[in-house]
Homo-oligomer: A and B are copies of this chain.
Amino acid sequence: MNFFFEPSGVAVVGATPETYSGGRYLVTNLTLGYQGPIYPVNPKYHEVLGLKCYPSVVEIEGPLDLALIFVPAQAVPQVLKDCVAKGVRGAILQSSGFAEAGPDGKALQDQCLTIAQQGGLRIWGPNCMGLIDTSKRHVFSFIAPEAWQEAMNPGGVSLIVQSGLLSAGFITTLMSNKTLGLAKVCSIGNRSDVEESELLEYLLQDRATKVIALYLESFIHGRRFYELALSSEKPIVVLKGGKTSLGAEASASHTASLAGNNELIWGVLGQASVHQADDFFEMVDIARTLEKDFPLQVPPKGKGRIAILSYSGAAGIVTTDHLVANGLTLARLSPQTLERLEKLSPAWMPVKNPSVVNEPRKPILFWLIGHRKGREETRMTLEKEGWPTFDEIHRTVKVMASLFDQGKKRKKDLEISTIQFSFPQSLRKMMDQADKRGVQLLDEYEAKKWFKTIGLNVVKEMTAKNLDETLKAAEKMGYPVVLKGRVEGKVHKTEAGLVKSNLWTKKQLRAAYEEMSSFYPKPPSFLIQPMLKGSLELIVGVVRDPQFGPAVMLGLGGIHADIYRDVIFRLPPLTETDAVEMVSSLRGEAVSSLRGEALLRGYRGTKPVNMKSLSDWLIKLGWLVLTSEKIQEIDVNPLLIVDGEPIAVDATIILRSHLQP
């Protein structure tokens, strides 16, 4: 990666002396900061801006690590061949007209990638704005020189942005605001080769970078990104574009990359303690405040406690509303603190929280109002002293919340290594059998047999082939019972009429059996289960995400699960702490901790959920999918909570048939 940021020799292919052109800006920007040799390349000129211009890359003499390429897309493959011939190490393709432009462009991009990979050349882009390193004043980008020359303000925030034009207009705005100190800016475009994870890894090692903020529409190597973020000591902030299906559609047309399952991404980023922003300046406001590295006392239990100092009661009230909405609360002030405040406060302003001053070591975020001129002076004074300032209450509070989130970040890698899990021989055998039979789908009976081998609790059940066996089973089990008809390949048994619940008598059971037997084809066998009454229905499962790989899901079940879609994802391996976090990340829990009691601490006289057992489900299903390539998907629905214990009542396992054993 380093040859992109600190190259020995840079060629500008498409250099031109024409005013207002990217090819000229690229050369100008190099001359304004880069100390190594600069080689303009363009067969039309002998000289560009006082520098010798070469007809092609192969003609260049002297050291040459990096080529900045800004020629029409069709001309790029030949340029890359020249770069390979010359031994160039990296090329930043700032031209557009590739994958983002349609299938022809995609083919051209693939062709470029092949040339590069065969020649040992790394590609950055195409369809990007290149990079900026403020400390060295390296601007390897066609951004206009006047946009950065005066305004560049070195600092600790690095940006990785999957966007071209926005990064320029956006960076220009940020620089002119003078409140953000930048380290490195990477505009990575179509990411045909260099992508966000590799750059993230580079920036995590970069001394100048203290915080990394990313705008991404998808993750090329999601699992790798997750692992880097999980182990990172530096705060990471992500704005994920293309959250909604409409947004994702626009996204696909823009960078030709797939936007992922938003609920899964939200869960995974939370798991890795990545800060999530909803808008561009919100992303930057979080990053520039985290850069200050305030020492923050996070209460071991409960919410982050904030004091508000304001002469305006209304501002205090609205701030409190936003604090609560962001999971924070007001600090209770000691009598001593109140007394000291009384001395500072005018007589007409009674001291109460909202209304407080803190020790200066603690983070103090300023919301400024007043006349523009005075406000700007105050802002710049505060910012110079290292105190972040904001224009709106909602943003001030959101950023405050991110400080607390950062304070809660825990090192998970150690915990994970302590998890023990081994496959029992009996499960291996069942897996092999399923494989030999070539089945793609295991029904609830078989799925639950798998779960039992790893110590997970499933509903008691008996099988029957005919009415006689059915009635005997029910007698033995005790009424009321549930009767289920097993038909190969039928997963949605309820919709198919293959589930009859609430059977309290022999007569009712017989009627149910006879109805199912009248179906064509008649179910070859039946399941008899006791009619369980749970206090809560959950859904747990695992999926394989195209970006992030194996993922574990927990959700609230029943009809309302479909209405509220209250689900949370995490990547395995999971710890018990992860499992508790999953429960507390369910919206039903997050809406109010009081309501969360429904799940964790029992509800209306029901027993609390046994968290150890629930964790077991999540951890073990995670291990199953992580260690068994064969498993595509597991769905346990419902996982019923009976007297506090989770019990699998219905389940499906989908296998990946196309894999060889």
Contact = CB atoms under 8 A, between A and B. Distances in A.
A391 B324 CA distance: 26
B250 A320 contact: yes
Interface size class of A (residues with CB under 8 A): 35 or more
A476 interface: no
Interface stretch (A236-244, A539-547, A576-584): A236-244
B313 A172 contact: no
B246 A323 contact: yes
A370 B146 CA distance: 12
Given A241-B321, A369-B169, A564 B591 contact: yes
Counting from the closest, the 4 A-B pairs by CB-CB distance are A254-B313, A163-B314, A176-B372, A166-B312
B246 A320 contact: yes
A566 to B, nearest CB: 8
Contacts of A353: 250
Contacts of A34: none
Nearest to A171: B369
A35 interface: no
Interface of A: 96-97, 100-102, 147, 151, 161-166, 169-170, 172-173, 175-177, 215, 217, 239, 241-247, 250-251, 253-255, 278-282, 311-318, 320-325, 329-330, 348, 350, 352-354, 369-373, 375, 391-394, 480, 495, 502, 504-505, 536, 556, 558-560, 562-565, 587-588, 591-592, 595, 598, 603-605
A176 B371 contact: yes
Contacts of A282: 392, 394
A483 to B, nearest CB: 16
B314 A352 contact: no
A309 to B, nearest CB: 13
Q: Which of A161, A562, A563 has the most CB of B within 10 A?
A: A563
Contacts of A321: 241-244, 247, 278
Contacts of A324: 243-247
23 contacts: A163-B312, A172-B371, A176-B373, A215-B314, A241-B317, A242-B320, A244-B325, A247-B317, A250-B353, A251-B313, A254-B317, A278-B394, A279-B322, A280-B392, A281-B392, A495-B604, A505-B505, A556-B560, A559-B598, A559-B603, A562-B603, A563-B588, A563-B591
A349 to B, nearest CB: 8
B391 A281 contact: yes
Q: Which of A239, A375, A560, A588 has the most CB of B within 10 A?
A: A560
A556 B559 CA distance: 11
A177 to B, nearest CB: 7
A226 to B, nearest CB: 22
Each complex incorporates copies of this chain amounting to 2
A350 B253 contact: yes
A498 B329 CA distance: 40
Given A280-B392, A504-B504, A562-B595, A239 B318 contact: yes
A598 B562 contact: yes
Contacts of A322: 278-279
B255 A595 contact: no
A313 B558 CA distance: 39
A177 B372 contact: yes
Contacts of A325: 243-244
A433 to B, nearest CB: 34
A250 B369 contact: no
Nearest to A330: B246
A314 B393 contact: no
A102 B502 CA distance: 62
A272 B311 CA distance: 33
Given A318-B280, A369-B172, A371-B151, A250 B313 contact: yes
A634 to B, nearest CB: 22
A353 B249 CA distance: 10
Contacts of A598: 559, 562-563
Contacts of A243: 321, 324-325
A250 B316 contact: yes
Given A251-B317, A281-B392, A375-B173, A536 B559 contact: yes
A163 B604 CA distance: 42
Q: Which of A97, A151, A562 has the most CB of B within 10 A?
A: A562
Contacts of A161: 314
A172 B375 CA distance: 10
Contact of A595 (B102, B392, B565, B591): B565
Contacts of A279: 318, 322, 392-394
Contacts of A562: 595, 598, 603
A519 to B, nearest CB: 17
B317 A173 contact: no
Contacts of A587: 564
Nearest to A281: B392
B348 A97 contact: yes
Contacts of A312: 163-166, 169
Nearest to A174: B369
Contacts of A215: 314
A218 B299 CA distance: 33
A147 B371 contact: yes
Contacts of A502: 502
B254 A314 contact: yes
Contacts of A592: 565
A479 B203 CA distance: 71
Given A250-B317, A279-B394, 20 more contacts: A162-B314, A165-B313, A166-B313, A176-B373, A244-B321, A247-B321, A250-B316, A250-B353, A254-B313, A254-B317, A278-B322, A280-B393, A502-B502, A556-B563, A560-B588, A562-B603, A564-B564, A564-B587, A564-B595, A565-B595
A591 B605 contact: no
